[in-house]
Amino acid sequence: MSVPGSLADRLSSALAAHGLILRGGFNFDAGDSAPAGPSGRPARAVMLAGNAGAAYWPHFRRWRESRPADLANPLDTWCREVIGRVARDFGARAVSPSDRPFLPFQQWAMRAEGLRPSPLGILIHPRYGLWHAYRGALLLDAGLPPPHADKPIHLCDACIGKPCMKACPVDAYTPAGFAYEDCLDHVRGPKGGPCRTIGCLDRNACPYGAAYRYAAEVQAFHMKAFAKL
Ligand code: B12
Ligand code: SF4
Ligand code: SF4
Protein backbone atom coordinates (compact mmCIF):
# COMPACT_ATOMS: atom_id res chain seq x y z
CA MET A 1 0.00 0.00 0.00
CA SER A 2 1.24 3.50 -0.64
CA VAL A 3 2.67 5.11 2.46
CA PRO A 4 1.19 8.51 3.36
CA GLY A 5 3.05 11.37 4.95
CA SER A 6 6.28 13.23 4.90
CA LEU A 7 8.57 10.26 5.66
CA ALA A 8 7.51 8.76 2.33
CA ASP A 9 8.02 12.09 0.54
CA ARG A 10 11.49 12.59 1.99
CA LEU A 11 12.47 9.01 1.27
CA SER A 12 11.18 9.30 -2.29
CA SER A 13 13.34 12.39 -2.86
CA ALA A 14 16.43 10.69 -1.43
CA LEU A 15 15.91 7.67 -3.68
CA ALA A 16 15.09 9.79 -6.75
CA ALA A 17 18.63 11.22 -6.59
CA HIS A 18 19.77 7.72 -7.67
CA GLY A 19 17.01 6.99 -10.20
CA LEU A 20 15.20 4.79 -7.66
CA ILE A 21 11.67 4.98 -6.30
CA LEU A 22 9.81 4.11 -3.11
CA ARG A 23 7.72 0.99 -3.71
CA GLY A 24 5.40 1.33 -0.70
CA GLY A 25 5.66 -0.34 2.66
CA PHE A 26 3.68 -1.97 5.45
CA ASN A 27 3.71 -2.73 9.17
CA PHE A 28 4.63 -6.26 10.18
CA ASP A 29 1.86 -8.18 11.97
CA ALA A 30 2.43 -9.90 15.30
CA GLY A 31 2.62 -13.31 13.58
CA ASP A 32 5.25 -12.25 11.01
CA SER A 33 8.85 -13.27 11.41
CA ALA A 34 10.15 -9.76 10.88
CA PRO A 35 13.88 -9.30 10.32
CA ALA A 36 15.78 -7.15 12.79
CA GLY A 37 15.34 -3.41 12.61
CA PRO A 38 18.16 -0.94 13.30
CA SER A 39 17.86 -1.52 17.08
CA GLY A 40 18.37 -5.28 16.64
CA ARG A 41 14.78 -5.97 17.75
CA PRO A 42 12.27 -7.28 15.15
CA ALA A 43 11.43 -4.45 12.76
CA ARG A 44 7.97 -2.86 13.06
CA ALA A 45 7.76 -1.84 9.39
CA VAL A 46 9.43 -2.21 6.02
CA MET A 47 9.62 0.15 3.04
CA LEU A 48 10.73 -1.10 -0.35
CA ALA A 49 13.06 0.68 -2.76
CA GLY A 50 13.26 -0.23 -6.40
CA ASN A 51 13.06 0.85 -9.98
CA ALA A 52 10.33 1.45 -12.53
CA GLY A 53 11.88 1.30 -15.96
CA ALA A 54 15.65 1.68 -15.94
CA ALA A 55 15.92 5.23 -14.56
CA TYR A 56 18.71 4.00 -12.28
CA TRP A 57 20.88 3.01 -15.25
CA PRO A 58 22.73 6.35 -15.92
CA HIS A 59 23.40 6.75 -12.17
CA PHE A 60 24.72 3.21 -11.93
CA ARG A 61 26.79 3.61 -15.14
CA ARG A 62 28.52 6.73 -13.82
CA TRP A 63 29.35 4.99 -10.54
CA ARG A 64 30.52 1.86 -12.43
CA GLU A 65 33.08 3.82 -14.44
CA SER A 66 34.91 4.77 -11.24
CA ARG A 67 35.13 1.17 -10.00
CA PRO A 68 37.47 -1.71 -10.97
CA ALA A 69 36.51 -3.44 -14.23
CA ASP A 70 36.50 -6.86 -12.54
CA LEU A 71 34.20 -5.84 -9.65
CA ALA A 72 31.86 -8.76 -8.84
CA ASN A 73 28.08 -8.10 -8.76
CA PRO A 74 28.39 -4.40 -9.52
CA LEU A 75 24.66 -3.58 -9.55
CA ASP A 76 24.14 -5.29 -6.19
CA THR A 77 27.14 -3.43 -4.80
CA TRP A 78 25.85 -0.08 -6.07
CA CYS A 79 22.37 -0.74 -4.67
CA ARG A 80 23.76 -1.73 -1.27
CA GLU A 81 25.88 1.41 -1.26
CA VAL A 82 23.21 3.94 -2.21
CA ILE A 83 20.27 2.34 -0.39
CA GLY A 84 22.51 1.70 2.63
CA ARG A 85 23.38 5.41 2.72
CA VAL A 86 19.73 6.45 2.42
CA ALA A 87 18.79 3.98 5.18
CA ARG A 88 21.45 5.40 7.53
CA ASP A 89 20.15 8.94 6.91
CA PHE A 90 16.65 7.77 7.86
CA GLY A 91 17.68 5.69 10.90
CA ALA A 92 16.69 2.47 9.13
CA ARG A 93 18.48 -0.83 8.42
CA ALA A 94 18.93 -1.70 4.75
CA VAL A 95 18.62 -5.21 3.36
CA SER A 96 19.09 -6.45 -0.20
CA PRO A 97 17.17 -8.92 -2.40
CA SER A 98 20.47 -10.81 -2.73
CA ASP A 99 21.06 -11.22 1.01
CA ARG A 100 21.26 -14.88 2.08
CA PRO A 101 19.08 -16.51 3.20
CA PHE A 102 16.82 -14.82 0.67
CA LEU A 103 14.31 -12.44 2.19
CA PRO A 104 10.73 -12.72 0.82
CA PHE A 105 10.90 -9.59 -1.34
CA GLN A 106 8.06 -10.61 -3.63
CA GLN A 107 5.77 -11.42 -0.71
CA TRP A 108 6.67 -8.05 0.81
CA ALA A 109 5.99 -6.34 -2.52
CA MET A 110 2.59 -8.01 -2.76
CA ARG A 111 1.72 -6.62 0.67
CA ALA A 112 3.26 -3.21 0.03
CA GLU A 113 1.79 -2.58 -3.41
CA GLY A 114 -1.02 -5.11 -3.75
CA LEU A 115 0.64 -6.61 -6.86
CA ARG A 116 0.22 -10.20 -8.03
CA PRO A 117 2.51 -12.46 -10.07
CA SER A 118 2.28 -12.68 -13.86
CA PRO A 119 2.52 -16.14 -15.44
CA LEU A 120 6.29 -15.46 -15.59
CA GLY A 121 6.62 -15.21 -11.81
CA ILE A 122 7.51 -11.51 -12.11
CA LEU A 123 4.93 -9.32 -10.34
CA ILE A 124 3.00 -7.21 -12.84
CA HIS A 125 2.34 -3.53 -12.14
CA PRO A 126 -0.67 -1.69 -13.63
CA ARG A 127 1.56 1.05 -15.04
CA TYR A 128 5.08 -0.44 -15.30
CA GLY A 129 4.01 -3.86 -16.57
CA LEU A 130 6.92 -6.29 -16.07
CA TRP A 131 9.52 -3.51 -16.20
CA HIS A 132 10.26 -2.92 -12.54
CA ALA A 133 12.21 -4.54 -9.72
CA TYR A 134 13.12 -4.29 -6.06
CA ARG A 135 16.62 -3.12 -5.14
CA GLY A 136 16.51 -3.00 -1.37
CA ALA A 137 14.32 -2.54 1.68
CA LEU A 138 14.48 -0.28 4.70
CA LEU A 139 13.59 -1.89 8.02
CA LEU A 140 12.24 0.48 10.64
CA ASP A 141 11.87 0.32 14.43
CA ALA A 142 8.72 2.50 14.30
CA GLY A 143 5.42 1.63 12.64
CA LEU A 144 4.13 3.48 9.57
CA PRO A 145 0.94 5.56 9.49
CA PRO A 146 -2.17 3.71 8.22
CA PRO A 147 -1.85 3.09 4.46
CA HIS A 148 -4.09 4.43 1.72
CA ALA A 149 -6.41 1.62 0.65
CA ASP A 150 -5.78 1.20 -3.06
CA LYS A 151 -6.16 -2.10 -4.86
CA PRO A 152 -4.43 -2.11 -8.25
CA ILE A 153 -5.90 -3.98 -11.18
CA HIS A 154 -4.16 -7.19 -12.20
CA LEU A 155 -3.58 -6.83 -15.94
CA CYS A 156 -3.06 -10.57 -16.50
CA ASP A 157 -6.68 -11.31 -15.49
CA ALA A 158 -8.01 -9.65 -18.65
CA CYS A 159 -5.17 -10.72 -20.96
CA ILE A 160 -6.75 -13.40 -23.09
CA GLY A 161 -3.94 -14.32 -25.52
CA LYS A 162 -1.15 -14.29 -22.89
CA PRO A 163 1.63 -13.58 -25.44
CA CYS A 164 4.22 -13.88 -22.64
CA MET A 165 3.63 -17.65 -22.68
CA LYS A 166 4.26 -18.03 -26.43
CA ALA A 167 7.52 -16.32 -27.36
CA CYS A 168 10.14 -18.47 -25.66
CA PRO A 169 11.81 -20.84 -28.15
CA VAL A 170 12.10 -23.57 -25.48
CA ASP A 171 8.82 -22.92 -23.60
CA ALA A 172 10.73 -22.38 -20.37
CA TYR A 173 7.74 -20.77 -18.67
CA THR A 174 4.67 -23.01 -18.30
CA PRO A 175 1.87 -23.13 -15.73
CA ALA A 176 4.07 -25.70 -13.95
CA GLY A 177 6.76 -23.07 -13.32
CA PHE A 178 10.04 -21.85 -14.76
CA ALA A 179 12.34 -24.49 -16.33
CA TYR A 180 15.46 -22.68 -15.26
CA GLU A 181 17.95 -25.16 -16.80
CA ASP A 182 16.17 -25.20 -20.18
CA CYS A 183 16.28 -21.41 -20.25
CA LEU A 184 19.97 -21.32 -19.33
CA ASP A 185 20.91 -23.93 -21.94
CA HIS A 186 19.16 -21.92 -24.62
CA VAL A 187 20.51 -18.52 -23.55
CA ARG A 188 24.06 -19.88 -23.47
CA GLY A 189 23.69 -21.87 -26.71
CA PRO A 190 24.08 -21.05 -30.41
CA LYS A 191 20.46 -19.95 -30.83
CA GLY A 192 20.39 -17.79 -27.71
CA GLY A 193 21.58 -14.59 -29.44
CA PRO A 194 18.21 -12.75 -29.24
CA CYS A 195 17.80 -13.53 -25.51
CA ARG A 196 21.39 -12.44 -24.88
CA THR A 197 21.07 -9.15 -26.75
CA ILE A 198 17.49 -7.94 -26.23
CA GLY A 199 16.51 -9.93 -23.14
CA CYS A 200 13.90 -12.55 -22.37
CA LEU A 201 11.54 -12.88 -25.35
CA ASP A 202 8.61 -13.89 -23.14
CA ARG A 203 9.06 -10.83 -20.91
CA ASN A 204 9.37 -8.60 -23.97
CA ALA A 205 6.17 -10.08 -25.45
CA CYS A 206 3.98 -8.52 -22.75
CA PRO A 207 2.31 -5.46 -24.31
CA TYR A 208 1.99 -3.50 -21.04
CA GLY A 209 4.36 -0.95 -19.55
CA ALA A 210 6.01 -0.36 -22.94
CA ALA A 211 7.17 3.12 -21.88
CA TYR A 212 9.14 1.49 -19.04
CA ARG A 213 10.68 -1.35 -21.06
CA TYR A 214 14.40 -1.59 -20.26
CA ALA A 215 16.71 -0.59 -23.13
CA ALA A 216 18.44 -3.50 -24.88
CA GLU A 217 21.74 -2.57 -23.18
CA VAL A 218 20.12 -2.92 -19.75
CA GLN A 219 18.40 -6.18 -20.64
CA ALA A 220 21.67 -7.60 -21.99
CA PHE A 221 23.41 -6.62 -18.74
CA HIS A 222 20.80 -8.43 -16.62
CA MET A 223 20.81 -11.46 -18.89
CA LYS A 224 24.61 -11.67 -18.65
CA ALA A 225 24.35 -11.65 -14.86
CA PHE A 226 21.49 -14.19 -14.81
CA ALA A 227 23.14 -16.64 -17.23
CA LYS A 228 26.70 -15.96 -15.98
CA LEU A 229 27.82 -15.41 -19.57
C1 B12 B 1 16.39 -17.05 -6.54
C2 B12 B 1 15.81 -16.01 -7.48
C3 B12 B 1 15.64 -16.38 -8.81
C4 B12 B 1 15.86 -17.80 -9.28
C5 B12 B 1 14.51 -18.54 -9.05
C6 B12 B 1 14.73 -19.91 -8.50
C7 B12 B 1 13.47 -20.40 -7.77
N8 B12 B 1 12.74 -21.27 -8.43
O9 B12 B 1 13.16 -19.90 -6.67
C10 B12 B 1 16.20 -17.60 -10.78
C11 B12 B 1 17.71 -17.52 -10.96
C12 B12 B 1 15.61 -18.60 -11.74
C13 B12 B 1 15.62 -16.17 -11.01
C14 B12 B 1 15.49 -15.65 -12.25
C15 B12 B 1 15.00 -14.39 -12.52
N16 B12 B 1 14.56 -13.51 -11.62
CO17 B12 B 1 14.67 -13.81 -9.73
N18 B12 B 1 14.98 -13.81 -7.92
C19 B12 B 1 15.44 -14.71 -7.04
C20 B12 B 1 15.57 -14.10 -5.63
C21 B12 B 1 17.02 -13.61 -5.46
C22 B12 B 1 15.21 -15.00 -4.47
C23 B12 B 1 13.84 -15.70 -4.60
C24 B12 B 1 13.53 -16.38 -3.30
O25 B12 B 1 13.75 -17.57 -3.13
N26 B12 B 1 13.06 -15.59 -2.32
C27 B12 B 1 12.77 -16.11 -1.00
C28 B12 B 1 11.27 -16.40 -0.89
C29 B12 B 1 10.94 -16.88 0.54
O30 B12 B 1 10.64 -15.12 -1.10
P31 B12 B 1 9.26 -14.98 -1.90
O32 B12 B 1 8.94 -13.53 -2.00
O33 B12 B 1 8.25 -15.87 -1.35
O34 B12 B 1 9.73 -15.56 -3.31
C35 B12 B 1 8.94 -15.66 -4.44
C36 B12 B 1 9.86 -15.94 -5.60
O37 B12 B 1 10.78 -16.95 -5.26
C38 B12 B 1 8.90 -16.40 -6.62
N39 B12 B 1 9.53 -17.22 -7.66
C40 B12 B 1 9.72 -18.53 -7.64
N41 B12 B 1 10.30 -18.91 -8.79
C42 B12 B 1 10.47 -17.81 -9.55
C43 B12 B 1 11.03 -17.63 -10.80
C44 B12 B 1 11.11 -16.35 -11.37
C45 B12 B 1 11.67 -16.18 -12.71
C46 B12 B 1 10.63 -15.21 -10.62
C47 B12 B 1 10.73 -13.85 -11.17
C48 B12 B 1 10.05 -15.44 -9.34
C49 B12 B 1 10.00 -16.71 -8.84
O50 B12 B 1 7.86 -17.11 -5.93
C51 B12 B 1 8.00 -16.84 -4.53
C52 B12 B 1 6.57 -16.65 -4.02
O53 B12 B 1 6.18 -15.35 -3.80
C54 B12 B 1 14.56 -12.91 -5.72
C55 B12 B 1 14.83 -11.78 -4.72
C56 B12 B 1 14.24 -12.13 -3.35
N57 B12 B 1 15.00 -11.94 -2.30
O58 B12 B 1 13.09 -12.59 -3.25
C59 B12 B 1 14.67 -12.52 -7.20
C60 B12 B 1 13.46 -11.96 -7.94
C61 B12 B 1 12.23 -12.78 -7.59
N62 B12 B 1 13.79 -12.20 -9.39
C63 B12 B 1 13.43 -11.26 -10.13
C64 B12 B 1 13.61 -11.26 -11.54
C65 B12 B 1 13.18 -10.00 -12.29
C66 B12 B 1 14.13 -12.36 -12.20
C67 B12 B 1 14.31 -12.48 -13.73
C68 B12 B 1 12.96 -12.40 -14.43
C69 B12 B 1 15.24 -11.42 -14.32
C70 B12 B 1 16.62 -11.44 -13.70
N71 B12 B 1 16.85 -10.73 -12.62
O72 B12 B 1 17.46 -12.11 -14.19
C73 B12 B 1 14.96 -13.87 -13.91
C74 B12 B 1 14.29 -14.78 -14.93
C75 B12 B 1 15.26 -15.11 -16.02
C76 B12 B 1 14.75 -14.83 -17.39
N77 B12 B 1 14.20 -15.79 -18.07
O78 B12 B 1 14.86 -13.70 -17.82
C79 B12 B 1 12.78 -10.12 -9.37
C80 B12 B 1 11.28 -10.06 -9.59
C81 B12 B 1 10.81 -8.61 -9.69
C82 B12 B 1 9.35 -8.51 -9.90
N83 B12 B 1 8.95 -7.47 -10.61
O84 B12 B 1 8.58 -9.32 -9.43
C85 B12 B 1 13.24 -10.40 -7.90
C86 B12 B 1 12.24 -10.00 -6.80
C87 B12 B 1 14.59 -9.65 -7.71
C88 B12 B 1 14.52 -8.15 -7.75
N89 B12 B 1 15.69 -7.55 -7.64
O90 B12 B 1 13.50 -7.51 -7.89
N91 B12 B 1 15.35 -15.57 -9.88
S1 SF4 C 1 1.30 -10.88 -21.60
FE2 SF4 C 1 -0.66 -10.85 -20.50
S3 SF4 C 1 -0.55 -12.59 -19.06
FE4 SF4 C 1 1.53 -12.17 -19.76
S5 SF4 C 1 2.40 -10.82 -18.23
FE6 SF4 C 1 1.55 -9.50 -19.84
S7 SF4 C 1 -0.55 -9.06 -19.17
FE8 SF4 C 1 0.16 -10.80 -17.95
S1 SF4 D 1 15.45 -15.82 -21.59
FE2 SF4 D 1 15.05 -16.80 -23.58
S3 SF4 D 1 15.16 -19.00 -23.12
FE4 SF4 D 1 14.94 -17.96 -21.15
S5 SF4 D 1 12.74 -17.93 -20.74
FE6 SF4 D 1 13.22 -16.00 -21.79
S7 SF4 D 1 12.88 -16.43 -23.97
FE8 SF4 D 1 13.02 -18.40 -22.91
Q: What is the pLDDT of residues 170-189, one digit of tens each?
A: 999 998 999 999 999 999 99
Output the pLDDT for position 149.
66
Q: What is the pLDDT of residues 36-60, one digit of tens each?
A: 999 999 999 999 999 999 999 999 9
Please choose from 155, 157, 201 the residue to mutate so as to test ligand 2's pocket, defined by most ligand atoms within 8 A of CB. 155
Q: Tell me what the pLDDT averaged over the chain comes to.
A: 95
Distance from the alpha carbon of residue 106 to the mean position of ligand 1, in angstroms:
8
pTM: 0.95
**Band of residue 5 on the pLDDT scale cut at 50, 70, 90:** low
Q: What is the pLDDT of residues 88-116, one digit of tens each?
A: 999 999 999 999 999 999 999 999 999 99
CB 164 within 8 A of CB 119: yes
The single-letter code of the amino acid at 149 is: A
The single-letter code of the amino acid at 18 is: H
Percent of the chain at pLDDT > 90 equals 93
| Mean pLDDT (whole number) for 149-168 | 93
**Band of residue 1 on the pLDDT scale cut at 50, 70, 90:** low
Answer yes or no: is pLDDT of 2 > 70: no
Q: Please indicate whether residue 122, judged by its CB atom, sits closer than 6 Å to ligand 3.
A: no
The single-letter code of the amino acid at 81 is: E
CB 170 within 8 A of CB 183: yes
| Mean pLDDT (whole number) for 184-197 | 98
83 HSE (CA, 13 A, CB side): 28
Distance from the alpha carbon of residue 154 to the mean position of ligand 3, in angstroms:
23
The DSSP call for residue 125 is B
The residue with greater pLDDT, 150 or 100, is: 100
Residues linked to residue 1 through DSSP beta bridges, in sequence order: none
Output the pLDDT for position 146.
77
DSSP H helices in the chain: 6-16, 57-65, 74-89, 105-113, 180-188, 193-198, 201-205, 216-227
How distant, in Å, are the alpha carbons of 44, 168, 176 from that of 18?
26, 33, 37
Output the pLDDT for position 20.
98
CB 131 within 8 A of CB 52: yes
Helix axes of 6-16 and 74-89: crossing angle, nearest 10 degrees = 140
Residues linked to residue 19 through DSSP beta bridges, in sequence order: none
Give the whole-angstrom CA distance, residue 141 versus residue 149.
23
For residue 227, which atom of ligand 3 is closest to its CA?
A: 1
